[in-house]
Chains A and B, each alone.
Chain A
Amino acid sequence: MKAGYDIVIIGGGPAGLAAAVAAYDSGVKDVLILEREARTGGILNQCIHNGFGLTRFKESMTGPEYAARFEREVKARGIEVLLETTVLSLNQQREVTAVSPEHGVFTVRAGAVILAMGCRERSRGALNIAGSRPAGIYSAGTAQKYVNIKGYLPGKEVVILGSGDIGLIMARRMTLEGAKVHAVCELMPYSGGLKRNIVQCLNDFNIPLYLSHTITKIEGKERVTGVVVSQVDENKQPIKGTEKHFNCDTVLFSVGLIPENELTKSANIPLSPRTRGAVVYQNRETEAQGIFACGNVLQVHDLVDFVSEEAEIAGRGAAQFVLKGAHPRESVSVENGRDISYVLPQKLDKNASGDTKLYFRVARPLKEIKFVLRCGEHVVLERKKRVAVPGEMETLLLKESQIKELSGNVTLEVVE
């Protein structure tokens, strides 16, 4: 291991691997990946279900298969990977301090840094759900690790809160392994999960989905013995008299993912309150020069295919930065208009070359709408859409010429 690298990538999951390959192929060969686990691939290693790669490769792969494809590319290029290496700190001078059993605590200087740390699950604690704290309460991803990696069944009688994709996937997974999933409860009046998962993970196994419901109490002293589930009103407050009781030994939480930006914050890199990831330009460069971000640490994606795409943008951006240095920016902001929960990138640099795909999410389920991007009164771009839901990312392609002509900040909004 050397004292400095052209590019240091924090995280060897799908984002980090794709970013490394793209950076290398853009002409920067001196790349180091720091991965905290004993193997690369990140969360894909425990996502043994299929459906990965449909958009990008037009085939349906399992998580490990999708990861293996990128691991092979990293290996073929001889890109250096340090495993069991946890990054402890980062600063805007692009000094990365990490620790591993083999090397102890060390600091590497990087020409450019790519943040690819992924995200974590919101825990039960963040929801302030009343009751006891016995064994048998897991986030869905933790249960997934127990089942798929460790080979243990966390419980046999299950209630799931949250219809995010991991929760849906685990409903099917636990059922296949012999558990009984009594209910999936969703606070919102719609599911945040992919349609495919509702059909194949719940409907296929007759698992009921209770929309506008939440768990209001967890019971049990040493082990979970049951939960109380209540319907909620439009303000998401439990409605008295709607309580249902389920006997169960396990409660899984699939209540959202949070980008893991502790390092980003420690380096004082500005974050967006909407995405909880860094504010970035088209090339996925953050407000800190030479520090880029991609994948779930930047915005929580629903498809790994988009993660790879975004990571490649960041990889190319970082390589450009290393090869050509910083260039003066002329930037405008992209604002979130009506019914738009966020747009990424949040900043457009008019001096950047190339077309830009805007990634965004709507704030609620919508039908027969138009996405309109305006710059003041001027409509830059618009596109019709039959159905849009918050759980599925939308995109709009903005031409380089359109960006160059912008006279100020732009707003993306939904018109019904």
Chain B
Amino acid sequence: MKHTLTCVECPMGCEIEVVTENGAAVSVTGNSCPRGKAYAENEVVCPKRVLTTTVRMTDGRMLPVKTNLPVKKAELLALMQTVNGLHPTAPVHIGDVLVKNISDGADLVAADNME
């Protein structure tokens, strides 16, 4: 099967063509660098994204949070449900783990400081 995708590893935005057989990439063309090849291979097999969103703290303020590793793209909306139920209390600092291994070995961590 042939897939066409836009590489997002850098602002170049290469148009990459990937051929897959039985769910595995067999050829990658159009990329300008090894990062592009890796991106394209992952993207056709199991696309992953970093989830960035907010949680409401107990004092009402909004705390930006993110997964510290990419998680499966297909799970993003489902993960929002879990994340929206969290209500941490200040102080919270960048990198503080709010949920250990929320998915795929990624932790949900604070992405801002709230004193």
Contacts and interface: CB of A to CB of B under 8 A. Distances in A.
A177 B55 CA distance: 11
A176 to B, nearest CB: 6
Contacts of B7: 195
A302 B62 CA distance: 26
A392 B112 contact: no
A196 B7 CA distance: 7
Where chain A touches its partner, the secondary structure class is helix
B49 A204 contact: yes
Interface of A: 45, 48-50, 54, 60, 62-65, 68, 147-151, 173, 176-177, 194-196, 198-200, 204, 302-303, 386-387, 392
B94 A387 contact: no
Contacts of B76: 176, 204
A198 B6 contact: yes
Contacts of A148: 54, 62, 64
Contacts of A151: 54, 56, 60, 62
Given A68-B94, A151-B54, A176-B53, A62 B6 contact: no
Contacts of B12: 386-387
Given A194-B11, A392-B11, 17 more contacts: A45-B112, A48-B53, A48-B54, A48-B112, A50-B52, A54-B10, A62-B64, A62-B112, A65-B94, A68-B94, A147-B54, A177-B80, A196-B11, A199-B5, A200-B8, A200-B49, A387-B13
Contacts of B6: 195, 198-199
A106 B66 CA distance: 41
- 3 interchain residue pairs of minimum CB distance: A195-B13, A64-B112, A196-B8
A62 B49 contact: no
B89 interface: no
A176 B13 CA distance: 25
A64 B110 CA distance: 10
Contacts of B49: 200, 204
Contacts of B66: 48, 50, 62
B111 interface: yes
A62 B111 contact: yes
Nearest to B57: A151
Contacts of A45: 112
Given A65-B111, A68-B113, A149 B52 contact: no
A302 B11 CA distance: 10
Contacts of A149: 62
A204 B47 CA distance: 10
Contacts of B77: 176
Interface string B72-84: 0100110010000
A368 to B, nearest CB: 14
Most A C-beta atoms less than 10 A away, residue of B6, B47, B112: B112
